[in-house]
Amino acid sequence: MIFQVQIFLSAKCQKGSGMKRNPRDVPWTVLYRRKHKKGIHADEGQQKKRIKRTVHATSRPVADMTVEALLAQRNQKPEFRKQQREAAIKAAKEAVRAKKEETKRKAVKMLDNLYYLSTYKLGEIKRIIISFSFFIKAFEQ
């Protein structure tokens, strides 16, 4: 059998516990005073008054863009944005086309160098030229 040690403030408390009384029904306890809203203990259960917070709408910069730049972008017309988008697409396509032409030009130059490099290994050079011709045809498409 396990025993529990109980410590009481006074004999009055010990007798009240022995009679198994509910502390909410005993008039001198804190729980009774809270339940029946007596004196100081009545205020403990209530919450403090809430402070009303006002919302302030502010604009802040995002990443590298300032507030003015963000407002300017927001106020743009759809036609202007469409023109900008088309210009960007056109520039990207030009860059891809230029890169393809550059690689094609380099491949042709390399073929010329290989052809004049040596004449005694002609069969090997022809094989290289054929493989490069496939490479160039792939870029032409």
70 burial (CB, 10 Å; 0-12 / 13-18 / 19+) is middle
Q: Which domain holds residue 15?
A: 11-43
* Domain shared by 136 and 87, yes or no: yes
Judge whether 49 lies within some domain.
no
Cβ neighbors of 39 (< 8 A, separation 6 or more) are 33
Contact 8, 14 (CB under 8 A): yes
What is the value of pTM for the model shown?
0.35
Judge whether 29 lies within some domain.
yes
Judge whether 119 lies within some domain.
yes
Judge whether 118 lies within some domain.
yes
pLDDT tens digits for range 106-141: 888 877 776 666 555 666 666 777 776 666 666 665
For the chain, percent of residues with pLDDT exceeding 70: 75
Please give the tally of structural domains in the chain: 2
State the sign of the Cα–Cα–Cα–Cα dihedral 90, 96, 101, 102.
positive
pLDDT score at 18: 86
Instruction: Render 10-61 in DSSP notation, one character per residue.
Output: SHHHHHHHHTT--TTTSTTSHHHHHHTT-TTHHHHTSPPPPPPPPP------
pLDDT score at 41: 61
Judge whether 58 lies within some domain.
no
Tokens representing 20? 């198994």
Q: Is the pLDDT of residue 10 over 80?
A: yes
Judge whether 59 lies within some domain.
no
pLDDT score at 3: 82
Judge whether 76 lies within some domain.
no
When the pLDDT of each residue in the chain is averaged and rounded to a whole number, the result is: 81
Judge whether 30 lies within some domain.
yes
pLDDT tens digits for range 78-94: 999 999 999 999 999 99
For the chain, percent of residues with pLDDT exceeding 90: 21
CA distance 67 to 64: 10
